[in-house]
């Protein structure tokens, strides 16, 4: 065993330290928490909306029920600190396994360099939502399949249970199924371990149906091919922004190395569809980067050795011990100083008290729906991040009113909107002020307007 074998542990520790220090505050965290809380309090799955005034009682997917329960469990156990520790632990698991995957393909310096970059890109998904389980499970399943392909096919028995767990944690399980299908296809096409891989794939697909409200593969595919573009993370990658640029680096490095040294059938089957997926929406970019990490690390190391054939990468033991001790200190310091409470400066915090005291139907900013569900539970929201629940009618009505399309007044009346809580630069705010709506609360973030009494 070489000193580099400790690298996955070190990378995981560093990722943990960074992830635990990140401020929370994602709008979707709140409604996931609220869903988990409702399920615990009522002892049943949350199968219909109870948080909005516009879709009350409407059924919606409960495919992430387990993920929501785990997140709420972390909150119950440790408050916001529990959420942060869960986040850091899941990130560390993902970092650990992707480093192992990279180390199987390339020497440590190259594996670590590319892994670090991939993890930096993946930071955009380190939010306190069930999608973090996908971030942890994707590298785990990838490594498992790679090891099985190398001959240890008995490990494939772990695939169906993992997919079963994943299916109930987050809709990203479709990525896991895709990984299994790709490895199975390669095994069948090349007739190497075809039977165990095919069996694992069939059982995994079967396991994915054992879920009280799975999105289903069709829904996952529909989501990938027509993502709701107005949500930032669902927008296409912008390569002129930092995350998009790093994604482009991965894509172009993959292309350049493919031109330079080619690859295998498995490389093509794995990288081509995941590259497309990454191009389809920002939230999918990290999965291509993770899958391409071993390929790029291996290619770079080959180029290096062509240039410097005599290179050896050996770390002295004191360095290894020193780095390990430093990481332990870093983790301890991060946990001790982490700002566990979520950052809520982007939310209408100043309006909370007034909002709680008022009554009637509320029209709120889309991005603030989750926050309001958790922080002002007595006021049902108009709309929130559970998007599909509100498609198409509620979202259309929302846009008609907020962006002042013709008919906005009728919509305002039809929904009996008593208060409006929006950003100050919304067209509707200017119009309602002209119409004499009362400003109940105002700050640079939000404006709460009350309909005048007739």
Partner 1 sequence: MRPVLVVPLVLAGLAAFAATRAPVSDSDFFWHLAIGRDIAAHGVPRVDIYSWTVAGRAVLPDQWLGELLLYAAYAIGSWSGTIALRALTVGALIGIVVWTALAERPTRPFIAVLASLPAIALSRFAWTDRPELFGLLCFAILIALLRAVRRGSFAAFALCVPLVLLWTNLHGSYALGLGLVLVVAVERAVVDPSRRRRYAAVAIACVIATFVTPAGLATWTSSGGHFLAPPRFVQEEGTPDVTTLPGLLFSVALLATLATAVLAPRARGRDVLFEIVILVPVAFVSLTATRHLVFYPIAAAPFLASWGPDAFTEVVRTLREAWGDALRRASPTVMTARTADRAPRDDRRPRYLIADGIAAVVALAMLVAGVATAPRNPDLSAFPVAALPQLPAGPGLLNRYDWGGFLIWYAPATPVFVDGRLFPYVPDALDDYRAVIGLHSDWRQVLVKRGIRTVLVSPSDAIAVEGVALGWPILARTPEWVMLRVP
Question: Which residues of the chain form contacts with partner 1 (CB under 8 A)?
Answer: 189-192, 225-227, 229, 235-240, 244, 248, 251-252, 254-256, 258-265, 267-268, 271-272, 275-276, 279-280, 403-406, 408-409, 424-425, 427, 429-431, 434
Shortest Å distance, C-beta 402 to partner 1: 10
Distance CA 274, CA 288 (A): 5
* Residues 408/425, Cβ–Cβ less than 8 Å: no
Nearer to partner 1, 5 or 261 (CB): 261
Minimal distance in Å, beta carbon 264 to partner 1?
Answer: 8
- Distance from chain centroid for Cα 93: 15
Question: DSSP letter at 447?
Answer: E
Is there a contact between 98 and 119 (Cβ–Cβ < 8 Å)?
A: yes
**Shortest distance in whole angstroms from residue 252 CB to partner 1:** 5
175, 138 contact by CB (below 8 A): yes
Pick the closer one to partner 1 by CB: 273 or 339.
Answer: 273
Cβ atoms of 339 and 23 closer than 8 Å:
yes
Shortest reach from residue 411's CB to partner 1, in Å: 12
Beta strands, E only, 252-325:
none
CB nearer to partner 1: give 209 or 276.
276
**Contact (CB, 8 A) for 364 and 381:** yes
CB 189 to partner 1: min, Å = 6
Q: Of the two residues 96 and 275, which places its CB atom closer to partner 1 in the complex?
A: 275
Q: Which is nearer to partner 1, 367 or 399 (CB)?
A: 399
Cβ 116 to partner 1 shortest distance, Å? 22
Whether the Cβ atoms of residue 26 and residue 129 lie closer than 8 Å to each other: yes
CB burial readout 170-184, b (16+ within 10 A) else e: bbbbbbbbbbbbbbb
CB of 198 to partner 1, least distance (A): 14
Q: How far is the CB of 244 from partner 1 (least distance, A)?
A: 8
**What residue spans of 345-452 are helical by DSSP H?**
352-357, 369-375, 393-402, 408-414, 427-434
Residue 96: CB atoms within 10 Å:
23
Which C-beta is closer to partner 1: that of 47 or that of 223? 223
Q: How far apart are CA 292 and CA 251, in angstroms?
A: 8
CA nearest to 32, candidates 87, 83, 81, 72: 72
Q: How far is the CB of 433 from partner 1 (least distance, A)?
A: 9
Q: Which is nearer to partner 1, 163 or 184 (CB)?
A: 184
Q: What is the DSSP string of 45-106?
A: ---B--SBSSSTT-B---TTHHHHHHHHHHHHHHHHHHHHHHHHHHHHHHHHHHHHHHHHHS
The answer to whether the beta carbons of residues 66 and 166 sit under 8 Å apart is: no
Nearer to partner 1, 67 or 278 (CB): 278
> Is the CB of 262 or the CB of 360 nearer to partner 1?
262
Q: Is the CB of 68 or the CB of 267 nearer to partner 1?
A: 267
Nearest residue to 361 (alpha-carbon basis) of 415, 306, 411: 415
CB 412 → partner 1: shortest distance, Å? 12
Here the tokens at position 61 are 């997917």
Least gap, CB of 4 to partner 1 (angstroms):
28
Task: Name the nearest CA neighbour of 218 among 228, 209, 229.
Answer: 209
DSSP state of 440: E
Looking at the Cβ atoms of 108 and 257, the one nearer to partner 1 is 257
Shortest distance in whole angstroms from residue 413 CB to partner 1: 14
β pairing state of 417-422 and 361-364: parallel
**CB of 64 or CB of 397, closer to partner 1:** 397
In whole angstroms, what is the distance from residue 402 CA to residue 388 CA? 19
Cis peptide bond prior to 193, omega within 30° of 0? no
């Amino acid at each position: 065993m070489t000193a580099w074998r400790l690298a996955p542990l070190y990378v995981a520790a560093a990722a943990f330290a960074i992830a635990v220090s990140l401020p929370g505050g994602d709008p979707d965290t709140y409604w996931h928490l609220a869903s988990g809380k409702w399920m615990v309090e009522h002892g049943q799955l949350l199968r219909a909306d109870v948080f909005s005034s516009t879709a009350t009682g409407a059924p919606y997917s409960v495919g992430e029920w387990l993920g929501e329960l785990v997140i709420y469990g972390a909150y119950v156990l440790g408050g916001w600190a529990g959420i942060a520790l869960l986040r850091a632990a899941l990130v560390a698991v993902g970092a650990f396994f992707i480093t192992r995957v990279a180390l199987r393909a390339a020497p440590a310096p190259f594996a670590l360099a590319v892994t670090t970059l991939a993890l930096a890109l993946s930071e955009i998904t380190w939010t306190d939502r069930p999608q973090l389980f996908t971030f942890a499970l994707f590298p785990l399943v990838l490594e498992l399949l790679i090891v099985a392909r190398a001959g240890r096919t008995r490990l494939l028995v772990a695939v169906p249970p993992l997919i079963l767990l994943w299916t109930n944690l987050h809709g990203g399980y479709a990525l896991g199924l895709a990984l299994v299908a790709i490895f199975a296809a390669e095994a069948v096409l090349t007739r190497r371990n075809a039977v165990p891989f095919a069996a694992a794939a069939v059982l995994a697909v079967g396991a994915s149906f054992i879920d009280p409200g799975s999105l289903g593969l069709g829904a996952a595919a529909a989501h990938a091919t027509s993502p709701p573009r107005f949500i930032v993370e669902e927008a296409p990658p912008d390569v002129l922004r930092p995350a998009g640029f790093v994604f482009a680096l991965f894509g172009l490095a993959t292309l350049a190395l493919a031109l330079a040294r080619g690859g295998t059938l498995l490389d093509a089957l794995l990288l081509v569809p995941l590259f497309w997926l990454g191009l389809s929406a920002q939230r999918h970019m990290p999965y291509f980067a993770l899958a391409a990490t071993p390929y790029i690390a291996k290619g770079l190391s080959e180029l290096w050795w062509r240039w410097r054939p005599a290179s050896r990468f050996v770390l002295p033991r004191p360095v290894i011990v020193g780095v390990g001790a430093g990481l332990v200190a870093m983790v301890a310091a991060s946990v001790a100083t982490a700002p566990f409470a979520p950052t809520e400066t982007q939310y209408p915090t100043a309006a909370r008290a007034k909002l709680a005291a008022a009554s009637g139907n509320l029209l709120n900013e889309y991005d603030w729906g989750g926050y309001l569900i958790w922080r002002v539970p007595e006021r049902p929201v108009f709309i929130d991040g559970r998007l599909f629940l509100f498609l198409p009618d509620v979202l259309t009505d929302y846009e008609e009113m907020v962006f002042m399309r013709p008919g906005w007044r009728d919509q305002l009346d039809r929904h009996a909107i008593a208060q409006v809580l929006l950003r100050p630069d919304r067209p509707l705010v200017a119009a309602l002020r002209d119409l004499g709506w009362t400003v109940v609360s105002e700050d640079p973030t939000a404006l709460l307007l009350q309909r005048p009494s007739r």
